[in-house]
C-alpha cells in the first residue's frame, strides 16, 4: 500500500469532517435566525391592536424597561429585516459548504477507486 494514498485519505477524511461540522453549524444558525424572526413577527402581531401612545415593557436580560410602542415596533421591524439578510447570507454559505463537501466526496471516491490496496487496508482495519 502506498503511504501517499493513505496520507491523502486521512487528509480527505479530515476535510470531510470539517465541512460536515461547518454545515451543521450553519444549519443551526439558520434555525435560530428563523426562530428569532418568527418571535419578532408574532410579537408585532400581538402589538398591532395596542394604541400608539401606549408605553410597553421590553425585556433586556433580567430587567424590563418601559419604551414607547412605536420604538418597540421599529426594533421588531429592524430585527426582521436583519434576520432576512442573515438568512440569505446563511443560505449562500450553506450552498458553498455543500459544494465543498461534494468536491471532497468526489475526491475521496476517486482516491478509493484508484487505490485498491487502500480499500483492502481500510476493510481489514
Per-residue pLDDT of the chain (125 residues; tens, 9 = 90+): 578 888 999 999 999 999 999 999 999 999 999 999 999 999 999 999 999 899 999 989 999 999 999 999 999 999 999 999 999 999 999 999 999 999 999 999 999 898 888 888 888 76
The total number of residues shown for the chain amounts to 125
- Cβ-contact 108, 16 below 8 angstroms: yes
pTM for this prediction: 0.80
68 has which bridge partners?
55
Specify the residue for cell string 453549524: 25
Class of domain 3-124: mainly alpha
Amino acid at each position: 500500500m502506498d503511504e501517499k494514498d493513505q496520507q491523502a485519505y486521512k487528509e480527505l477524511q479530515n476535510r470531510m469532517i470539517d465541512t460536515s461540522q461547518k454545515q451543521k453549524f450553519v444549519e443551526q444558525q439558520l434555525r435560530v435566525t428563523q426562530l428569532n424572526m418568527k418571535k419578532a413577527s408574532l410579537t408585532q402581531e400581538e402589538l398591532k391592536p395596542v394604541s400608539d401612545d401606549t408605553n410597553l415593557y421590553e425585556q433586556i436580560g433580567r430587567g424590563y424597561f418601559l419604551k414607547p410602542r412605536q420604538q418597540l415596533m421599529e426594533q421588531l421591524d429592524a430585527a426582521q429585516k436583519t434576520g432576512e439578510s442573515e438568512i440569505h447570507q446563511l443560505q449562500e454559505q450553506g450552498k458553498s459548504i455543500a459544494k465543498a463537501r461534494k468536491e471532497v466526496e468526489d475526491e475521496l471516491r476517486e482516491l478509493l477507486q484508484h487505490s485498491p490496496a487502500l480499500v483492502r487496508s481500510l476493510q481489514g482495519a
